[in-house]
Amino acid sequence: MATQTQQPPHLRLAELTAAQFVDIWKHFDADGNGYIEGKELENFFKELETARRGAAGVDPTHAAFKEKMKEFMANFDKNADGRIEMSELAQILPTEENFLLCFREFVGSSAEFMAAWRRYDTDRSGYIESNELEGFLSDLLKKANRNYDAKKLNDYTQTILRMFDLNGDGKLGLSEMARLLPIEENFLLKFQVRLSSQTAKFPEFDSLFTLYDKDGNGYIDEQELEALLKDLCDKNKMDVDSTGLVDYKKSIMALSDGGKLYRTELEIVLCRDSTL
């Protein structure tokens, strides 16, 4: 957690690199909950205004300051929840540094995200290691017609790891990387967090898998997955309509092998990184 005496990073927005952006984010997200909100948000905006206008005239109690902050939130708080998430703040990055927004263009939905995950988790470990992440970012930047060299690609890879590798193991679990998704698309953050307490109620993952693999053929098909999701939503009192359930199912099935969801794939969704 940042201390009161710690100096904030300089907010020279025109020169900001992705790595500096991470430093800024980590400083102002003092409690590390993934949002800049409340007093954190006021402190951030005060520094932002000081960077833009100089120290003179920046008074958080003044009506003009509050009006400017309201304007800022209207522009950046895309889901209007009164706080700023990382991908919303990433809009301040200069275009050539903003690979987070490239990601949004490249992977627009949770189903596309899961399909991309399957494509880049080449060793099926349930994690994207740094070499796999580099391949992912390389393709992302090519698709967005962005120029980059080997050093820049390495910098971006390390920056993504610093942003999202919450447990510091040098690789990204599914839930960690899913934080790149827009909040409204990120069913894993809404779903898996609640599952973390629920999985403890089942003696073993294998028992859960066997319970829903009704025909015992060694994989979960779409109908079996739907039954599993419905039960988990009910047990966790999740308010999910039929459309949401269909979307969740479609996203998870994107990990499957031709409509067959084997133990490894289901475990990635339900169990890995559930402490998030």
Of 91 and 231, the one with more pLDDT: 231
> Which pLDDT score, from 0 to 100, does residue 221 have?
92
Band (170; pLDDT cuts 50, 70, 90):
confident
The three-state secondary structure class of 41 is helix
Residue 267 has pLDDT above 60, yes or no: yes
Band (139; pLDDT cuts 50, 70, 90):
confident
pLDDT digits (tens, 9 = 90+) for 82-118: 998 877 787 776 655 566 666 666 666 777 778 778 8
Fold for domain 186-270? Recoverin; domain 1 (1.10.238)
CB atoms within 10 A of CB 74: 10
Tokens for 152?
């820049």
Average per-residue pLDDT for the chain? 75
Chain centre distance of CA 194:
16
Q: What is the mean pLDDT of residues 150-154?
A: 87
Using an 8 Å Cβ cutoff, are 27 and 8 in contact? yes
Using an 8 Å Cβ cutoff, are 196 and 175 in contact? no
- Name beta bridge partners: 129: 171
Residue 136 has pLDDT above 50, yes or no: yes
> Which pLDDT score, from 0 to 100, does residue 182 have?
61
Highest mean pLDDT among 71-85, 89-103, 139-153, 156-170: 71-85
pLDDT digits (tens, 9 = 90+) for 213-225: 888 899 999 999 8
Q: What is the mean pLDDT of residues 69-91?
A: 84
- Domain pair 13-92 / 100-180, same fold: yes
> Which pLDDT score, from 0 to 100, does residue 48 have?
80
Give the closest residue to 118 by CA, choosing from 11, 218, 264.
264
Of 132 and 174, the one with more pLDDT: 132
Residue 196 has pLDDT above 50, yes or no: no
pTM value? Answer: 0.57
* CATH number for the domain formed by residue range(s) 100-180: 1.10.238.10
> Which pLDDT score, from 0 to 100, does residue 11 have?
55
pLDDT digits (tens, 9 = 90+) for 3-33: 444 555 555 555 667 677 778 888 888 887 7
Of 4 and 44, the one with more pLDDT: 44
> Which pLDDT score, from 0 to 100, does residue 37 have?
92
Tokens for 273?
């990184």
Q: What is the mean pLDDT of residues 199-217?
A: 72
Fold for domain 13-92? Recoverin; domain 1 (1.10.238)
Name the residue ranges covered by the structural domains of the chain: 13-92, 100-180, 186-270
Tokens for 237?
């009192």
